[in-house]
A = this chain, B = another copy of it.
């Protein structure tokens, strides 16, 4: 149950079988930091190449393909006082005819106050003069080495996690990843101070983070897609294009969770999901979109 402090100096733009930066054990905690999506660090200096440079990988002793790695996100705190976003909707989230009328892309800076937990535009335009959003920092891109010794760009995602940009993955949540390689090889980066559903301007408020997480190894526990547990929900994440397929992956994984972990029949799981399921569109911007299938713990606790 050691606590490791790790300060990254090199970063990876693919998730794959890279040389581990640290070996950790089941139950260990890591205190580390991430640079932002462009590789800018807590001083605003360029420390790595875009896009989405990763801290890691962390090698978890004993992890083997077919296991599950649980990562509890203890805390994610912005390590500087500003972030940045794009100012324009991605052309794929509006009607094709409307895409031509979108304004040119600019990068806009936001102030981030981590103590008071808000973000606001550094130079608000008249229309947005009073806008102040609650900060909800999370990691946009994290996961384990993918199957078959692939090394996959951190702009996309898959069953191994990756660039899911799901705003629900905040402090206190535990995320479960299927393990595909020895040591699991956990990567993390691409912090956001806040983000709406779908990452529809192609960014959250992009920022460097100080991160604390704890790993737990579930030997012989086999899952198909990333799962998660918050105070209020169990959820499953599907990553694919189009949204329809991402939703299929997430729902299929939830069906598996309810039947294998909660002991329901497929019919019981269907009855439950039909009347109680929730979906979130995590990202509809990256090469693979992400859809989250959620069930309230309040409902599951009745069973």
The interface of chain A, by Cβ under 8 A from chain B, is: 13-14, 16, 85-103, 106, 108, 119, 121, 125, 127-133, 147-153, 194-205, 240-245, 247-249, 251-252, 255, 262-281, 284, 291, 299, 302-303
Contacts and interface: CB of A to CB of B under 8 A. Distances in A.
A199 B263 CA distance: 23
B274 A203 contact: yes
Given A95-B252, A106-B267, A241-B245, 19 more contacts: A14-B149, A16-B151, A87-B267, A91-B96, A93-B248, A93-B251, A103-B270, A125-B265, A125-B267, A125-B268, A130-B303, A150-B152, A195-B275, A198-B279, A200-B277, A204-B275, A242-B244, A243-B247, A279-B281
A259 to B, nearest CB: 9
A132 B142 CA distance: 37
Among A127, A147, A268, residue most surrounded by chain B Cβ atoms (within 10 Å): A127
A205 B272 CA distance: 12
Nearest to A17: B151
Q: What copy number does this chain have within its complex? A: 4
Nearest to A148: B153
Contact of A277 (B147, B197, B243, B271): B197
10 contacts: A13-B149, A85-B274, A88-B266, A92-B248, A121-B271, A150-B151, A198-B247, A201-B273, A202-B274, A241-B242
B264 A128 contact: yes
Nearest to A90: B96
Nearest to A86: B274
Contact of A303 (B13, B129, B153, B299): B129
